[in-house]
Amino acid sequence: MTLPALFAFLHHVAAFTLVAALAVEFVLIREEITPPAARRLLLADLVYGAAAGSVLAVGLLRVFFFEKGPHYYLHSAPFIAKVSLFALVALLSIYPTVVFASWRPAVKLGQPPRADARKIRRIRSLLHWEPAAVVVLIFCAALMARGIGVLV
């Protein structure tokens, strides 16, 4: 009984960490991209990626080994929507991660990264869509947890 609770706890901690890291990125990208700001963005993106990986890994463990079992989840429309939204958020995060990673050599040298205005606007736009998708994902999680939308 305590192992499922532990995995639920880990899943929630990872999800909250993901949202916090996304919020940090959202705030930092609004600032001037100085070497310290770029370093903080790289760190926030690293935490974001680690949290996303943890959410996915622990979530899959919960689906297949704990809770209600795969039959329940794989026949739940909100669960399918939730996984689809998670994949969408992952896809949306690729471009910012690639751009941030390209800044690493300059940051290591203590120089400001090359951050042209077009790329920054695109990243800001993506960082607006990601939390919007996460909010809908959380709504799907609430529906799923209450058995709403189970396809029999």
Number of domains making up the chain: 1
In a domain, 152, yes or no: no
> What CATH code is carried by the domain that includes residue 114?
1.20.120
In a domain, 85, yes or no: yes
Classify residue 13 by burial, with Cβ atoms within 10 Å: 0-12, 13-18, 19+. middle
* Parent domain of 105: 2-145
In a domain, 25, yes or no: yes
Which pLDDT value is given to residue 1?
Answer: 64
In a domain, 151, yes or no: no
Which pLDDT value is given to residue 150?
Answer: 87
- What is the SS3 assignment for 76? strand
Give 10-residue mean pLDDT values along the chain (152 residues).
91 97 94 92 97 97 90 92 96 96 94 90 94 95 90 77
User: Are the C-beta atoms of 35 and 72 separated by less than 8 Å?
Assistant: no
The set of residues, in sequence order, having a beta carbon less than 8 Å from that of 1 and lying 6+ positions away, is none
In a domain, 111, yes or no: yes
Q: Which two tokens stand for residue 89?
A: 């958020």
